[in-house]
Structure 1
Amino acid sequence: MTEITNFRGEVAQPDTGTLPDCAADALLRRVGERVRKARERKGIPRRVLSERSGVSPRYLAQLEAGAGNISIGLLQRVATALGHRIEWLVGEEDPWTSDALRVARLFRVANSDVQQAVLEKLNATESVTSRAQRICLIGLRGAGKSTLGRLGGEALGIPFVELNRDIEDHSGMPIEEVMAFYGQDGYRNLEAQAVRRVIEKHDTLILAVAGGIVAEPETFGLLLNHFHTIWIRTSPEEHMSRVREQGDERPMAGNAEAMEQLEAILSSREPLYEKALAQVDTSGRTVDQSVADLVAVVEHHGFLR
């Protein structure tokens, strides 16, 4: 049996890894061929590669012949000397014909603007799949998210979930007590956990969320990536009127500037709400008309396909 020595001239120890002999042999041949091709394409003599990598010419010859049981450390030296990443040498895809590896190489050398454009395009493609048939209604309180979500779910034959009710079910207390006990930061953490639960549990549903969720970048990012988002909107006057009809006098009680504050909140959040994929304006519309509008938007955009 011919002994194989390492770059110091020492006898290499037998491979004790878990790869079957045939797989190990194929890997060694693949690595050797790629090292040889990369060296020849770059016009680098084996002696020069030896000097750059610190691996002896004799061992490089064994490596290129597919007979060198090279260590990861030495292979990293060779890869670096050739100007390649180590996975380029050992991966199963052919680096000279693989479109994926070619794109990866081009991406690494592209400027930041090109890289950002590529990432945005790929993320958009990924999101279409990751959103499944989940629909999320966003918008300021009083726009009609809960009512439209419940009736829209019935019309479309899919489940409806109100995120705050999910938080109440898991915390065992009303939202008001959750806010008092955990504070705003604690509530936002519970809100993010609830969104993740909904994603894991449902591939098809309508979800209604609180108006301020868009101000939490990470949680809002989850919604944008995993749901087909629809902004349910209405006029400030109807926002205020509907909240009061629900029996909540807080928006107006003792605050003559409540409408100005509401308009300011709506104005500040509009750029975030506008990130939704679609909109339904409930201003001056009956409940039945708004439900029909919601169903039409869902069908037009193919959110349940």
Structure 2
Amino acid sequence: MPLISRLATRVRAARQDMGLPRRELSERSGVSPRYLAQLEAGEGNISVLLLHRVATALNMKIEDLLSEEAPFDADVTRVAQLYDQAPVAVQGRVRALLAPENPATLRAQRICLVGLRGAGKSTLGRLAADKLKIPFVELNDEIEAEAGMPLGEVMALYGQDGYRAMEAQAITRVVERHDKLILAVAGGIVAETATFAQVLERFHTIWIRTSPAEHMARVRAQGDLRPMEGNPAAMDQLKTFLTTRAPLYERALAQVDTSTKPVQTSVNELLTTIATNRFLDSIGTR
């Protein structure tokens, strides 16, 4: 469409969408009704100065009238006008609702606890969820339920790669089923780049951490003697492991250190962390 015709169509559509008689547009812009009639008919030329006045009177930018790439959309212009006139709080809610990349929108009210085994993710997560009256999900339980077999058999049958694939699928299912919950995941999930990226995007993440000595003691208390069995250097390896993974765990939005603390104290700190960061606030109240 020739420029003059495109310009005529857009000016006319914008004026009609605003419900403006041509004479009122003339009064707002300082451009005569006769000149406006010629402009909307696609007859004659208009100076940049006069066109700028017309665009301003229509609450538009002059480039919106001239652009080739973006066809004029009266609805979009109207929405833009309403947005400009809305209170700041309303504008904030509109941005949150319209931006799919908005972190608060994507994470909803989902919380994920990350950290090595023995830090206290399952214990704290279950107690905090009970206090908050929201679901608690252990990701490995979700994997076992889907596979129809214990985790040990999953690992034996499918191997580490198969388990990691199921882990990623389980994260997707949890996101689809829950907008509000506390999830506990295995410590190694942070090493899976794509899966951990999904966790960071879809959950408010909290690193549950403790000292190497307590990691080891708690795992042994759970009846798992493998970390120490036939391996006198196990503690040094655990420390190295923690140091290596710390930068990944530090990508979490918050941390709770459970070292040398009673369980209830750590639960209270977790609840305080959730409240302080407003992880369970709905998007409409932010």
Range class of TM-score, shorter chain: 0.5 to 0.7
Structure 1 CA distance, aligned partners of 2:142 and 2:160? Answer: 17
Partner of 1:291: 267
Q: Does 1:33 align with 2:6?
A: yes
**Cα displacement (A) at 1:179:** 1.0
Structure 2 CA distance, aligned partners of 1:36 and 1:235? Answer: 70
Alignment deviations for residues 63-90 of structure 1 (CA, whole Å, 9 cap, x no partner): x96xxxxxxxxxxxxxxxxxx99742x3
Change (3 A) 1:204 1:262: same
**Cα displacement (A) at 1:92:** 2.4
Amino acid at match of 1:196: T
Amino acid at match of 1:241: A
TM-score, normalising length: structure 1: 0.63
Structure 2 CA distance, aligned partners of 1:94 and 1:35? Answer: 18
**Cα displacement (A) at 1:186:** 0.9
Q: 1:200 aligns with which of 173, 176, 193?
A: 176
Partner of 1:142: 118
Structure 2 CA distance, aligned partners of 1:158 and 1:30? Answer: 59
Q: 2:73 aligns with which of 54, 71, 92?
A: 92
Q: 1:212 aligns with which of 188, 205, 224?
A: 188
Q: 1:168 aligns with which of 134, 144, 147?
A: 144
Structure 1 CA distance, aligned partners of 2:163 and 2:262? Answer: 33
Q: Does 1:246 align with 2:227?
A: no
Structure 2 CA distance, aligned partners of 1:124 and 1:239? Answer: 38
Q: 2:154 aligns with which of 144, 167, 178?
A: 178
Q: Secondary structure at the match of 1:136?
A: strand
Partner of 2:62: none
Q: Secondary structure at the match of 1:135?
A: strand
Q: Number of paired residues?
A: 212
Structure 2 CA distance, aligned partners of 1:139 and 1:95? Answer: 46
Q: Secondary structure at the match of 1:279?
A: strand
What pairs up with 1:1-305 in 2 under 5 angstroms? 32-33=5-6, 87-88=69-70, 90=71, 92=73, 126-305=102-281
Change (3 A) 1:197 1:125: closer
Structure 1 CA distance, aligned partners of 2:193 and 2:105? Answer: 21
Structure 1 CA distance, aligned partners of 2:159 and 2:131? Answer: 37
Structure 1 CA distance, aligned partners of 2:112 and 2:256? Answer: 12
- What root-mean-square deviation, in Å, do the aligned CA atoms of Structure 1 and Structure 2 show? 3.1
Change (3 A) 1:278 1:124: farther
Structure of higher RCO (CA pairs closer than 8 Å, 6+ residues apart): 2
**Cα displacement (A) at 1:165:** 0.2
**Cα displacement (A) at 1:304:** 0.5
TM-score, normalising length: structure 2: 0.67
Runs of 4+ with deviation above 3 angstroms = 28-32, 34-37, 84-87, 93-99, 122-125
Cα contact 2:175–2:202 (8 A) shared by 1: yes
Structure 2 CA distance, aligned partners of 1:193 and 1:262? Answer: 29
Amino acid at match of 2:254: A
Structure 2 CA distance, aligned partners of 1:174 and 1:159? Answer: 22
Structure 1 CA distance, aligned partners of 2:180 and 2:211? Answer: 30
